[in-house]
Amino acid sequence: MSKIMVTGCSGFIGTHLTKRLLESGFHVIGYDLNASLLRDRNFEFIKGDILDVEKLQESMGGCKSVFHLAAQTKVPASTENPLADFKTNAEGTFNVLSVAKEHGAKVVYASTSTVYGIAETPTKESHPLQPISFYGASKAAGDMYCFAFNSTFGLDTIVLRIFNAYGPGNAKGVMYDLFKKLERDPTYLEIIGTGLQEKDYIYIDDTVDALMIAYERGASGEAYNVGSGISTTVNEIAELIFDILDIHPKVTYTGKSWKGDVESSLADISKLKNLGWNPKVGIEDGIEKLYEWMQ
């Protein structure tokens, strides 16, 4: 039975990915600062920090591959404390790659669409990385280190630039935020920004499918976009939520978003589609499933 490490196993994507790996017959070493609720005879949880190289070193023993998902994921938090964001996302990724090199373990790195910054759309993987947030910059550093370890040491690395993943288990993000506001007051909704922010949202099951297919079929040293290939505005999301809740609230707007927010994104997903991957869950179904989980 192949042994695989998942850093950030207790996070939103990490939890779903770990379950899928266990269902697929892998022995999973989960590595995270936060305890995991998963219970399985083939799952071993290790409480650890990716900044602790010694702990990483002993925890990765015998692992053929590493899915590196551990990260600081909030743009506003990266603005408040850029150094902490840098240490977790850039230095932490460097540590994972360094230890993986010693163990000869393949690394699948969960990057983000924010590495592109304000980009031409649909955005191809060849687009320059021009992040406008500290979060985007620290994650882009991870991309670059993956490429450097691959070309210099021959370490097998694959980078997945995930757009806006959502779904059951994600207690943050625009959809969750709108549901929570309307739970408190179904007659009124304040939307951050103009409501015209238009982003590519990808459902969690499709995201995990992408991670698995890239792991199985992806080319070493390559990057792949993980998105739906469709952009949806915040206003459109709000309307879908109003339909689900059968309400007609008064809507106001703050007029501006947070610093570093990329207000428009759309992935070119043809490269990953060429590996046989296709997103299956549309935004309407995805939001319904998120709502069911929140209930």
Catalytic (active-site) positions: 135
Closest listed residue to residue 76, CA positions, set 67, 68, 88, 85? 85
DSSP string, the chain: --EEEEETTTSHHHHHHHHHHHHTT-EEEEEESSPP----TTEEEEE--TT-HHHHHHHSTT-SEEEE------HHHHHH-HHHHHIIIIIHHHHHHHHHHHHT-EEEEEEEGGGG-S--SSBPTTS----SSHHHHHHHHHHHHHHHHHHHH---EEEEEE-EEESTT---SHHHHHHHHHHH-TTEEEESS-S--EEEEEEHHHHHHHHHHHHHHPPTTEEEEES-S-EEEHHHHHHHHHHHHT---EEEE-S---TT---B--B--HHHHTTT------HHHHHHHHHHHH-
42/22 Cα distance (integer angstroms): 7
DSSP string, 48-112: --TT-HHHHHHHSTT-SEEEE------HHHHHH-HHHHHIIIIIHHHHHHHHHHHHT-EEEEEEE
